[in-house]
Amino acid sequence: MARSARIGRVEILNIEDYAPPPFNSWDFFPDVPPDAWEPHRAHHALDGDGKFRVSFGVFALISDDFVVLVDTGIGPSVPEMFGGGEGRLIRRLREFGIQPGQITAVLNTHLHPDHVGWNMTDGAPTFSNARYYFSARDYEHWTSEPVLEHAPHIPAQAQPLEDLGLLELTADGDDIVPEIRALATPGHTPGHQSFLIESDGEKGVITGDVIHSRAQFTNPEWSAGADSDKPQGVGTRVALIERIVSENLTVACSHLVVDSNIGHVVEIENRRYWQPL
């Protein structure tokens, strides 16, 4: 159970915006037969009732030089389909002693509504001193017709940032700050990006939605129903897990259940498993 981890001079702080009600595994992973989950139950991939849980997670990356947020959660008012409660990112940040005005950059892994929900509040940027980083490919996708027509969160949470001159568009390999670099990891969305952290010889990665379940570290061929290009997503997941193992990266996953969403991937008898810190 870890609330935070350290990679060199960068602290990763784990903040839950909201926890939606648990899902049936087959609703979230429609291509995975319910039986296939059985071996994973011993590894806590499902809860005690056999349900699949996710968190709408945000990570703060903190050093002497910056306070960066990776994703902004589902936002202040949670849609009915996810429980209809209230996102608590800002309250939680304040509990950790972080004021919204201290955030220097907001990095969105992709432009789904559960990752950009607090980008704007009441028509103004929530993080008034931050620049916002979207992948160019994802922004192009989400602002194209007819995608935009069915994505009301884009004019609310993404496009105003361009109009205000606060938007930075990223490509694979771009440095955000010297310790944080964008890594193209497409498949969940066309321009999905993860973020590599390297500081004082230590390394980590924020995976975004390359991973939704810890079982996917063992079965990377499992795709979430929300993945827009499943074969591409599988390829991305396989490659990222290889890199995680070969470089022994510390890993932070936005949707794993809070306090078990930062960890390592370990190999036991040629199989890989999630090992939370």
Asked if residue 177 lies in contact with residue 68, where contact means CB atoms within 8 angstroms, the answer is yes
Q: Least distance from C-beta 226 to Zn ion, angstroms?
A: 7
> Least Å distance between CB 45 and Zn ion?
17
168 vs 133: CA distance, rounded Å: 5
Nearest CA to 241 out of 269, 277, 215 is that of 215
Applying CB under 5 A, which residues contact Zn ion? 114, 209
**Residue nearer to Zn ion on the CB measure, 139 or 199:** 139
Minimum CB separation of residue 73 from Zn ion in Å reads 10
Specify the residue, 179 or 205, whose C-beta has the smaller distance to Zn ion: 205
**CB-based contacts of 48: which residues, under 8 Å, 6+ apart?**
none
* CA proximity to 118, closest of 17, 261, 207, 195: 17
* Residue 39 beta carbon to Zn ion: minimum distance, rounded to whole angstroms: 25
Q: Which is nearer to Zn ion, 179 or 209 (CB)?
A: 209
**Could you give phi then psi for residue 262, rounded to 5 degrees?**
-120, 130
Of the candidates 70, 37, 92, the one whose C-alpha atom is nearest the C-alpha of residue 197 is: 70
Closest CA to 13 of 72, 62, 71, 63: 62
Q: What number of other Cβ atoms are within 10 A of residue 53's Cβ?
A: 20
Closer residue to Zn ion (CB): 62 or 74:
74
- Give me the least distance between CB of 113 and Zn ion, in Å please: 9
Between residues 198 and 209, which has the closer beta carbon with respect to Zn ion?
209
**CB closer to Zn ion, 114 vs 227:** 114
Of 242, 274, 232, 229, nearest to 256 (Cα)? 274
Residue number of the CB closest to Zn ion reads 209
Q: Containing H/E element for 167?
A: strand 167-170
